[in-house]
């Protein structure tokens, strides 16, 4: 278990960290087609390493990673769960002092104040006012379309590594331990991006990396649950893609707070994900226990062989 785990993690982290810091060295924090392409490439590093290991070293089929394209009910769960989490995180964010609701999205304009000129912000206000429906509903619709399509294709690169390979390697430790360890690794893997302001632009550096790691550790059981219940890493990619597409809903209509407090990646999101984990434990304890036991038996049989 550990030999294969390290064989995956060492090259993944080395390549990722070199590539991640190169992105900011050459592109900075600027957004654009080139930066988007580079970030998608970043997301596919875990998949690249896994494919090389499975096909080039272990000579094993990739279908063992859970690459199954037969939809089931859990694909629907993977699609609809992220906006629910984001909306609940928005409501929890309102419980913090100094945070209020603004249907006029004043908080969003304030957050853009550090990167856009007053003229650009006024243009954004005018364009928003001209939309036929409120931007919140438009963002929700776009997220639900992009999440299981183009975003899921990008997220597949990560999910093939984290939930396709790593989770299965660690599953003999039990569901919760394997999910927690995967989550910590997943968060630290984001360090080159998060250190430079990704997800926590108001608090770049070590605080951002620590917050990201806690967030992914809390999020990991949700991903692992959907991955195992669906029997497919594709469902995990849909969950990941839709989460990336709809997470912004949690802060879109909030004023006040900062990126450590509000949003799905802030303290409000931590509370929501902690409750989600408790719900999973309450609803599906027998299934989760069986996953760890079955994995232990499979590992024992492989060792004996």
pLDDT digits (tens, 9 = 90+) for 159-170: 999 999 999 999
pLDDT of 31 above 60: no
pLDDT of 206 above 50: yes
Confidence (pLDDT) at 32: 65
As a whole number, mean pLDDT of residues 56-66 equals: 93
pLDDT of 30 above 70: no
Q: Are 185 and 10 in contact (CB under 8 A)?
A: no
Q: pLDDT band for position 130 (50/70/90)?
A: confident
pLDDT digits 0-9 by tens, 224-279: 999 999 999 999 999 999 999 999 999 999 999 999 999 999 999 999 999 999 99
Q: Are 271 and 259 in contact (CB under 8 A)?
A: no
Report the interhelical angle of 2-27 vs 33-43 (nearest 10°): 170
Q: Are 235 and 79 in contact (CB under 8 A)?
A: no
Q: Are 50 and 161 in contact (CB under 8 A)?
A: yes
Q: CB under 8 Å to 61, separation ≥6 — which residues?
A: 54
Report the interhelical angle of 33-43 vs 152-159 (nearest 10°): 30
Q: pLDDT band for position 290 (50/70/90)?
A: confident
In whole angstroms, give the CA distance from residue 46 to residue 13: 9
Confidence (pLDDT) at 114: 63
pLDDT of 289 above 80: yes
% of the chain with per-residue pLDDT over 70? 92
As a whole number, mean pLDDT of residues 62-73 equals: 93
Confidence (pLDDT) at 28: 67
| Residue boundaries of the structural domains of the chain | 2-304
As a whole number, mean pLDDT of residues 173-190 equals: 97
Q: pLDDT band for position 301 (50/70/90)?
A: very low
pLDDT of 296 above 70: no
Confidence (pLDDT) at 305: 42
Confidence (pLDDT) at 300: 42
Confidence (pLDDT) at 294: 61
Locate 136 and state its tokens. 């919140």
pLDDT of 303 above 60: no
Q: pLDDT band for position 304 (50/70/90)?
A: very low
Q: CB under 8 Å to 191, separation ≥6 — which residues?
A: 17, 20, 209, 212
Q: pLDDT band for position 211 (50/70/90)?
A: very high
pLDDT of 147 above 50: yes
Mean pLDDT of the chain: 91
In whole angstroms, give the CA distance from residue 85 to residue 58: 38
pLDDT of 29 above 70: no
Identify the CA nearest to 47 among candidates 149, 179, 153, 190: 153
């Amino acid at each position: 278990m550990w030999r294969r785990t390290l064989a995956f993690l060492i090259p993944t982290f080395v390549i990722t960290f070199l590539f991640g810091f190169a992105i900011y060295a050459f592109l900075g924090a600027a957004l654009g087609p080139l930066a988007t392409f580079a970030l998608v490439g970043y997301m596919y590093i875990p998949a690249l390493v896994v494919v090389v290991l499975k096909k080039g070293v272990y000579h094993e089929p990739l279908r063992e990673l859970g690459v199954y394209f037969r939809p089931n009910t859990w694909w629907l769960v993977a699609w609809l769960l992220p906006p629910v989490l984001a909306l609940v995180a928005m409501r929890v964010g309102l419980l913090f002092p100094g945070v209020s609701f603004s249907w006029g999205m004043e908080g969003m304009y304030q957050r853009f104040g550090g990167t856009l000129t007053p003229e650009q912000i006024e243009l954004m206000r005018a364009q928003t006012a001209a939309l036929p429906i409120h931007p919140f509903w438009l963002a929700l619709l776009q997220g639900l379309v992009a999440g299981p399509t183009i975003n899921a294709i990008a997220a597949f690169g990560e999910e093939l590594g984290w939930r396709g390979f790593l989770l299965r390697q660690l599953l003999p430790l039990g569901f919760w331990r394997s999910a927690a360890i995967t989550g910590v690794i997943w968060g630290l893997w984001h360090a080159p991006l998060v250190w430079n302001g990704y997800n926590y632009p108001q608090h770049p550096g070590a605080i951002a990396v620590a917050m990201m790691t806690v967030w992914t550790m809390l999020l990991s059981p949700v991903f692992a649950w959907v991955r195992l219940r669906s029997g497919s890493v594709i469902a995990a990619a849909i969950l990941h893609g839709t989460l990336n597409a709809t997470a912004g809903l949690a802060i879109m209509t909030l004023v006040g707070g900062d990126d450590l407090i509000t949003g799905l990646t802030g303290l409000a999101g931590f509370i929501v994900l902690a409750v989600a984990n408790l719900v999973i434990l309450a609803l599906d304890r027998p299934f989760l226990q069986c996953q760890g036991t079955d994995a232990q038996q499979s590992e024992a049989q492989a060792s004996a062989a």
